[in-house]
Structure 1
């Protein structure tokens, strides 16, 4: 295991910037062709939505290090010391998605966002390397 195991998915991607360019080009084209105001308003609204998504830059994922686990879910951020984790439940759903549930010593359960990107073996190996009890 490396020192840090991380998965992040965020709004600022090349595809999102391409969508911004396409939206701006279409808004300019609609304006220069003199199309009805409704079309212009829709084009500007589309540019606004894409700009908002880029500016907001919601992040979805987690970072696992030797001392703590950080969870990112939109604007929600949480840092959990590994000593607070009682066990980890990792399983595969009927749809072949991997799920990872952190069972905390406080009794809370926290679903790990982004775990579906990895297979159960990889997650089991990463958590086992840290000495956490794993329930499969």
Structure 2
């Protein structure tokens, strides 16, 4: 009998409700600049604002990871990689600050191939939480 574990995931992406609000504000400002007949420079700035927001929504860069029984999947901008649990030799988790609770959490995946990969989004969690999640999957964790 196999037990199903809940997937542990953190994902941050550009396409959010805030980016759509920014698009609405950008379009409203471009329309307002045009209807008020403001100088061309102001209109071009408003259009540039619309283009930048549209680009971020269309690009939708993703930053984060997903940890499950099948393996680890992580995303860093356009880079996407799946790693089977059998490929991970150990996991190193540490805090960057000198005092407890100070600094950011870092998580390094040590692969059997010799590669070392920094897990994107690990700074969102404490060391204890990450150690517990990797321990659930039976991965050796150094901290």
TM-score (norm 2): 0.92
Report the Cα offset of residue 3 of structure 1.
2.7
Runs of 4+ in structure 1 displaced over 6 angstroms? none
Listed one character per residue, the Cα deviations across residues 9-50 of structure 1 (whole Å, up to 9, x for unaligned) are 000111111111110000000000001111111110100000
Distance 1:115 1:29 in 2: 42
Within a 5 Å distance, the mapping from 1:1-136 to structure 2 comes to: 2-94=5-97, 95-136=102-143
The runs of 5 or more residues in structure 2 that have no matched partner are none
Q: CA-to-partner distance for each residue in 1:89-113, whole Å, 9 max, x for gaps? A: 0001114210000000000000000
TM, length-normalised to structure 1: 0.97
Rounded to whole Å, the distance in 2 between the matches of 1:2 and 1:97 is 27
Once the two structures are superposed, what CA deviation does each residue of 1:46-87 show, in whole Å capped at 9, x if it has no partner? 000000000110000000011210010011000000000000
Could you say what the CA RMSD is over the residues aligned between the two structures, in angstroms?
1.1
Structure 1 unaligned segments of length 5 or more: list them.
none
Total equivalences in the alignment = 136
